Structures are given as C-alpha cells and as structure tokens.
C-alpha cells in the first residue's frame, strides 16, 4: 500500500473508532450527568476559557454609559438583590440553595471587575451563558436596569457587608420620578399597535418566555413536549385555544390575558409584554 493510502486508511479507522466510542458513551449512558460529580479540571478550564473568549469577542462593540452615578448604583443594588443574590450571593450573604448546588458554581461576583470589562459584564448579564445555568436577562430587565446592575458590580469590591446591607435597603433617591417608582424589571412597554411585529425578535422571545417548555414549535430547539398543542400550522387554525378567532390582535390578547380569555385553561400567564407578544404573534403567523 502506498504511504498516502495508508495514512488515509489510518485516519478513516481512527475516525470510525472515535465515532463508535462517542456513540457508546451517548447511547450506553456512560456519561455521568449528575451535578454532584465535578468536571475534570482540564475540561473545566477549557470550557471556562472558551466562555471567556466568546464573551470578549462578542462584547467588543458595546459602548457603556457613565457608570459612576450614585442613583444607578443604588438601582443596580436593588436589581442585584432581587435577581442575582439567590445564585451569586453578596458581601456577607450566602447564595440560596439553588446557587450553592449548581454546576458550574456561580461565584460571588465581588471579583468580577478584575476579570471583566463593564461591557463584558453587560453582555453576560444580558445574554446569559448557555449550558451553564446563567440566565439571560434581556427580556426581564430594562436596558437601564442591565447597566444599573453593571454599575453595581463595578462597586461591589469596595463594599463591606454593612454597606451592602445599607445600599440594598436604600430607597431610590429621586422620589416621584417614573424611574424611581417603577420596580426593577422588564422594559417599559413601548409597543405601538401600528408597528408590525418583528419576526426574528419573536423567535427569540418564544424561548425566553419558555413557550417551548410546553409546546413543540417549528424553528425552536426543544425536546418536543406535548403539554400544550404543537404550534406547527397555528396560523391556519380558525380559533386560538378554542376561544378567540385567530387574528394578530387576538393572539396578543391570548398571550397577555390568557386567564381572562379562558379562566379554566392550563396555559399559564407568563407576564409577556405587549411588544414581546406582538413579536411572538408575528413569528407564529409565519407557521402555516
């Protein structure tokens, strides 16, 4: 056999061997998914590096606003206490049971400032880290609240446990301003009935509202659940949930006021904003 042929044959055999090994691990159930087992250190380090480099690359174009604003820091402290504390803990406060038992372990973000630029902290908070359990906050925190949390993380290393307790108890400083009154939360609804829904954004919103936990939806990755009816061909159906004629406005109503439309339905209300509901309806209207 000539040398190139022998090399080729060896490569093919190695490839077949690797595929057979992988198949055995996957179908044989050999990979232990238990969260009480750790990754090997080299595997962990490789995943960690891949994650950090991925964030660095994607956050390059983000331009932070001014972050050393006391009001922003205070608001961020409130958001952090409500949304992040349970997993990450804070000065003098341990994370809750969920955070303690996750794998990978969400660390206290006191040293986040050393590892990440503000634009990277913003990116991680907004988009989350897939496969790690770090949630995406894009659909749950308004743009200004995302930055407020970043401003707070920038301040975290300077806070004693006493100071943390004080700032998280503090009331917003500018009383009566709309920003101070609205609790830390999702973007204020800016939907305009005249503006058509955004199909691409609707696709993202569908899995950010966990619709695919119950519905099998074309174009959305999932485990083909059957808790709710499959949404393939939903645009062709005459009725929504057997209650409303299938129009775009009624779809928005179904998604936002589900229990008003049908008090008996097993479909939960998911706190969908008007804008997100319009975008989701736009995506669903493509499924015919």
Q: Which residues of 48-61 are buried (b: 16+ CB within 10 A; e: fewer)?
A: eeebeeebeeebee
Binding residue for ligand HEC (CB under 6 A) from 215, 256, 275, 278? Answer: 215
Q: How far is the CB of 239 from ligand HEC (least distance, A)?
A: 6
Binding residue for ligand HEC (CB under 6 A) from 70, 229, 247, 288? Answer: 229
Binding residue for ligand HEC (CB under 6 A) from 59, 77, 78, 134? Answer: 134
Query: What's the first-to-final CA gap in the chain, in angstroms?
Result: 57
**Is 173:180 a contact under the CB 8 Å cutoff?**
yes
CA–CA dist 186, 256 (Å, integer): 14
**Is 197:279 a contact under the CB 8 Å cutoff?**
yes
> What Cα–Cα distance (Å) separates residue 283 from each residue in 126, 145, 278?
22, 27, 9
If one asks whether residue 245 binds ligand HEC (CB under 6 A), the answer comes out as no
Residue 271's nearest CA partner among 256, 284, 253 is 256
Cβ closer to ligand HEC: 21 or 233? 233
Give the angle 112-60-148 at the CA atoms, nearest 5°: 50
Using the contact rule CB under 6 A, the part of the chain among 23-31, 32-40, 123-131, 171-179 near ligand HEC is: 123-131
Cβ closer to ligand HEC: 9 or 46? 46
If one asks whether residue 59 binds ligand HEC (CB under 6 A), the answer comes out as no
User: Could you tell me how far CA 123 lies from the centroid of its own chain?
Assistant: 11
Cβ closer to ligand HEC: 22 or 98? 98
**Is 52:120 a contact under the CB 8 Å cutoff?**
no
Q: How far is the CB of 234 from ligand HEC (least distance, A)?
A: 5
**Is 110:157 a contact under the CB 8 Å cutoff?**
yes
Residue 253's nearest CA partner among 266, 208, 262 is 262
Binding residue for ligand HEC (CB under 6 A) from 28, 29, 61, 242? Answer: 242
If one asks whether residue 167 binds ligand HEC (CB under 6 A), the answer comes out as no
If one asks whether residue 283 binds ligand HEC (CB under 6 A), the answer comes out as no
Site for ligand HEC in 63-122 (CB under 6 A): 83-84, 86-88, 98-99, 102, 104, 106-107, 109, 112, 115, 121
Cβ closer to ligand HEC: 15 or 268? 268
Point out which residues bind ligand HEC (CB under 6 A).
51, 83-84, 86-88, 98-99, 102, 104, 106-107, 109, 112, 115, 121, 124-125, 129, 132-135, 137, 149, 206, 209-211, 213-215, 227-229, 231, 234, 237, 240-242, 255, 262, 265-268, 270, 272, 280
């Amino acid at each position: 056999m000539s040398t190139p042929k022998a090399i080729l044959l060896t490569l093919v055999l190695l490839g077949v061997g690797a595929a057979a090994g992988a198949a055995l691990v996957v179908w044989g159930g050999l990979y232990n998914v238990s969260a009480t087992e750790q990754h090997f250190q080299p595997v962990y380090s490789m995943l960690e590096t891949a994650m950090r480099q991925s964030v660095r690359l994607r956050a390059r174009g983000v331009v932070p606003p001014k972050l050393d604003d006391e009001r922003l820091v205070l608001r961020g402290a409130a958001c952090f206490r409500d949304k992040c504390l349970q997993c990450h803990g804070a000065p003098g406060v341990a994370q809750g049971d969920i955070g303690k038992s996750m794998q990978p372990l969400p660390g206290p973000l006191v040293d986040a400032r050393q590892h990440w630029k503000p634009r990277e902290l913003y990116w991680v908070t907004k988009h989350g880290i897939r496969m790690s359990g770090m949630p995406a906050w894009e659909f749950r925190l308004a743009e200004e609240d995302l930055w407020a949390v970043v401003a707070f993380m920038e301040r975290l290393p300077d806070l004693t446990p006493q100071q943390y307790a004080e700032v998280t108890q503090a009331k917003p400083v500018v009383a009566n301003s709309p920003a101070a009154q609205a609790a830390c939360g999702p973007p204020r609804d800016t939907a305009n009935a005249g503006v058509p829904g955004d199909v691409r954004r609707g696709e993202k919103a569908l899995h950010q509202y966990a619709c695919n936990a119950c519905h099998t939806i074309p174009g959305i990755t999932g485990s083909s659940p059957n808790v709710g009816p499959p949404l393939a061909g939903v645009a062709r159906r005459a009725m929504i949930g057997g209650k409303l004629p299938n129009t775009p406005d009624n779809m928005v109503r179904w998604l936002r006021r589900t229990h008003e439309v049908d008090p008996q339905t097993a479909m939960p209300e998911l706190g969908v904003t008007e804008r997100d509901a319009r975008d989701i309806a736009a995506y669903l209207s493509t499924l015919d």
